[in-house]
Chains A and B, each alone.
Chain A
Amino acid sequence: MMKGFKKTFCGVLAAMTLGLSATSVADDAVGWPEKADLKFGFIKLTDMAPLAIAYEKGYFEEEGLFVTLEAQANWKVLLDRVIDGQLDGAHMLAGQPLGATIGYGTEAHIITAFSMDLNGNGITVSNSVWEEMKKHIPSKDGKPVHPIKADTLKPVVEQYKDAGKSFKMGMVFPVSTHNYELRYWLAAGGLNPGYYAPHKGDTSGQLQADVLLSVTPPPQMPATLEAGTIHGYCVGEPWNQQAVFKGIGVPVITDYEIWKNNPEKVFGVSKAWAEEYPNTHIRVVKAMIRAAKWLDENNNANRPEAVKILSRPNYVGADYDVIANSMTGTFEYEKGDKREIPDFNVFFRHNATYPYYSDAIWYLTQMRRWGQISESKPDSWYMDIAKKVYRPDIYTQAAKSLIAEGKMSADEFPDFASEDGFKPPQSEFIDNVTYDGRKPNEYLSKFPIGLKDGDTL
């Protein structure tokens, strides 16, 4: 299999070199798709936009792909259907391909060659929790000062504890970005979000927890909060803005403020599928790169149109106003407190579509930090897994083919000749801890709360 894949890869490269001199580059670069009827799954969240746009703008069809997009009930169903082949690929949480490949949850080798977006999540608390939190938040010009740290939530959690009640929050999946972001935020404010201990059969993630986290599918978050089952949640859009519109909760922080330009969803396919249909895979990535570019073009000029498409019942289906609130560069915290966050949803800028190894490793460090990976691993292990799952090589072929066709220019992409898949060390986290993807174990040792090298529960 691998051999066949390499052969195609070389063939494509050869074709592209030839293409420089020949005139009809377009179809020489990537061969015809091996499979043209495709079904992709998604969850009703605004960051599925690249899929909807690639479909609606005809980018898939231009690649000779006839794609059906289908909303899935929850992240587990979605992953299972990609694994058993009912779906050819899907909009996935960045942690899903990694989690599946290392065997946390359902085990299967899933890969990704396309990162769908940056940022786009928020943490919302119920109105009553907000009232309590507000007492501890400094304000300026009558408005609370952002970013709001979890330090201000801590007294509220203590109150619950003193009253003998547990403080519960929802996130969307054990290996979701939301789980790690919520944990990061809580831990940065001195609240322990709890550990996993899969080697003891404990996958609840609530060992030693101050705040009990549990899974709720994204679209059901507002209803669950309203019912009082949880006191807050971390989820993608439009479900934070929905809480504002319905008047049932207040978003306190966006993930942009927890970690500036953090990687969010990816497009995942099974490794077997990618090996069987290499040309199809490259073409899918091509179409989605174009869609991502369209979404960010001319300073988000196309966003209103995108929101209109997303508000159709077969895509996200929430009201136009709710989706527009975050998709068009703003974010509404308390009702009426609407602030500019132009990068709240990034689909293409800042090389958002490139699958960086360092992004993969960050998720692996968080899996280790909270015990989902129960034993400590050497730095080389993190590197190996990242390379197994994140496939910039496929992305590069797609990008080069787009450049050769004249649909994109080389300056819109990282410099492929020198790109090694690692972002320079980043320090724009809410707790100012610097992350260097090359040193995962050293990074883990910087956190006061969380497992470190050598720790086991």
Chain B
Amino acid sequence: MVTLTFPTWMEPYRALATGKVSRDQWQALMRQLLWPVLGIGLFLLLWQFAAQRIDTSLGQFPGPAQVWEQAGNLVSEHQQSREREVAFYERQEKYIAARLQQQPDWEPVTRDYTGAPTFFDQIGTSLITVMSGFLLASMIAIPLGIVIGLSSTVHAAVNPLVQLFKPVSPLAWLPLVTMVVSALYVSDDPMVSKSFLTSMFTVSLCCLWPTLMNTAVGVTSVSQDLTNVSRVLRLNALSHVRKIVLPSALPMMFTGLRLSLGIAWMVLIAAEMLAQNPGLGKFVWDEFQNGSSQSLGRIMVAVIVIGLIGFLLDRLMLMLQRALVWDKASAQR
């Protein structure tokens, strides 16, 4: 079922490249390129205009130019950090060689680089955490959603709980999750850090619900005709779910998954900020604490990157949906 065609939205560009542009394509180009560019341009102007008028105790609010400059700084800091990392490993090799000479029976261990994580390291950490939390939530929510959708008894039993926990803010869960993780996850040589688990579980707890609800609704709304077909064919329960329920429920499920991923990303930043767990949220908080004249610009870079990543994650889900769902009309935006 997976088909990859030349995306239709690129058609006008191909036409532009070949020089043969129809009227419709001109309109498409305007819609896709001109208006968005104008919108962004206007926003930048407004931003610059407003920024000049906001004086904080950390200096002027950063305009687009300062933010761009800070983005450059963050990149160069990342490169410097990588250079230090290389030097670190070289020094370590020397240390190991020297120690082996004095203590031949020692089993050398290479240590990971101990420098502070850069902005880009933090992005990586956040992405891994959000994806793990989201996958865990999906693994629970999809099967549970199917069961709830199939059985009105289970639905009646679970629904009050779902309604109760759905609106809970991540920040309320966080202290509980932190304490439970530190109590239960005790190991001398932990595979992953406690802070990672805390963030991950908090994310999971909060982004479980949209997937669960939408899957359940999707499953309930399988058309009666299809269910009848399944009856006639005498499909067993598993085949019924695989052949009939899942394909019809997929569009709804994806709507839920997309909502969940969006929530997961938002929750993660807040959780990282509050719990001081590594990631973009901590980056923002640290910069705020630093209170240097560059801090606001750097936070603004993070804000834009957070938005950009959230957007890309959503597009990613949409692509996945397009590739998997038979009803293409349901995956338009």
A interface with B by C-beta (< 8 Å): 24, 27, 32, 36-37, 44, 55, 58, 61, 64, 66-69, 71-73, 77, 84, 86, 219-220, 222-223, 226, 242, 246-248, 311, 313-314, 316-319, 322
Contacts and interface: CB of A to CB of B under 8 A. Distances in A.
A276 B77 CA distance: 37
A61 B57 CA distance: 39
Given A27-B102, A84-B182, A313 B286 contact: yes
A12 to B, nearest CB: 17
Contacts of B287: 313, 317
B8 interface: no
A112 to B, nearest CB: 23
Contact of B57 (A24, A64, A248): A248
B103 interface: yes
Most buried by B among A68, A72, A313: A313
B192 to A, nearest CB: 13
Q: Closest 9 A-B residue pairs measured CB to CB?
A: A317-B290, A314-B116, A219-B289, A246-B57, A66-B111, A68-B114, A319-B292, A73-B276, A66-B114
B115 to A, nearest CB: 8
A86 B178 CA distance: 13
Interface in B84-131: 91-92, 95, 99, 102-103, 106, 109, 111, 114, 116
Contact of B291 (A67, A71, A242): A242
20 contacts: A24-B102, A27-B102, A32-B106, A44-B289, A61-B91, A66-B92, A66-B111, A67-B114, A71-B286, A72-B276, A86-B194, A220-B289, A222-B57, A223-B57, A223-B291, A247-B57, A313-B77, A313-B286, A313-B298, A317-B286
Most buried by A among B91, B99, B276, B291: B291
Contacts of A314: 116, 286
A72 B290 CA distance: 12
Contacts of B182: 84
Contacts of B103: 32
Contact of A318 (B102, B109, B285, B292): B292
A72 B292 CA distance: 18
Contacts of B294: 319
Nearest to A68: B114
B293 interface: yes
Interface residues of B, number: 28
A64 B91 contact: no
Interface in B262-314: 276, 285-287, 289-295, 298
Most buried by A among B285, B287, B293, B294: B293
A108 to B, nearest CB: 14
B197 to A, nearest CB: 12
Nearest to A74: B276
A27 B100 CA distance: 13
Interface string B47-71: 0000000000110000000000000
B79 to A, nearest CB: 15
A260 to B, nearest CB: 30
Given A27-B102, A72-B276, A316 B290 contact: yes
Most buried by A among B57, B95, B286: B57
B276 A219 contact: no
Contacts of A246: 57-58
B70 to A, nearest CB: 11
Contacts of A77: 276
Nearest to A320: B292
A317 B289 contact: yes
Contacts of A73: 276, 285
A248 B114 CA distance: 37
Contacts of A311: 292
A73 B290 CA distance: 12
A247 B294 CA distance: 18
A322 B295 CA distance: 14
Nearest to B94: A61
A71 B292 contact: no
Nearest to A238: B291
Contacts of B77: 313
Contact of B111 (A36, A248, A317, A322): A36
B290 A318 contact: yes
B109 A36 contact: yes
Nearest to A318: B292
B261 to A, nearest CB: 28
A223 B296 CA distance: 14
A90 B286 CA distance: 18
Most buried by A among B57, B103, B109, B290: B290
Contacts of A32: 99, 103, 106
Given A313-B286, A313-B298, 10 more contacts: A27-B102, A32-B103, A58-B91, A66-B114, A219-B290, A220-B289, A248-B57, A317-B292, A319-B292, A319-B294
A319 B293 contact: yes
A123 B194 CA distance: 38
A69 B57 contact: no
Contacts of B285: 73
Contacts of A219: 289-291
A309 B224 CA distance: 70
A71 B291 CA distance: 14
A335 to B, nearest CB: 14
Contact of A64 (B95, B290, B291, B298): B95
A171 B287 CA distance: 22
A32 B102 CA distance: 11
Most buried by A among B58, B114, B194, B294: B114
B289 A71 contact: yes
B11 to A, nearest CB: 46
Contacts of B290: 44, 219, 313, 316-318
A85 B152 CA distance: 48
A174 B103 CA distance: 47
Contacts of B286: 71, 313-314, 317
Nearest to A86: B194
Contacts of A66: 92, 111, 114
Contacts of B92: 61, 66
A195 B109 CA distance: 53
A252 to B, nearest CB: 20
A61 B88 CA distance: 9
Interface string B208-252: 000000000000000000000000000000000000000000000
Given A36-B111, A71-B289, A226 B57 contact: yes
Contacts of A72: 276
Contacts of A36: 109, 111
B62 to A, nearest CB: 15
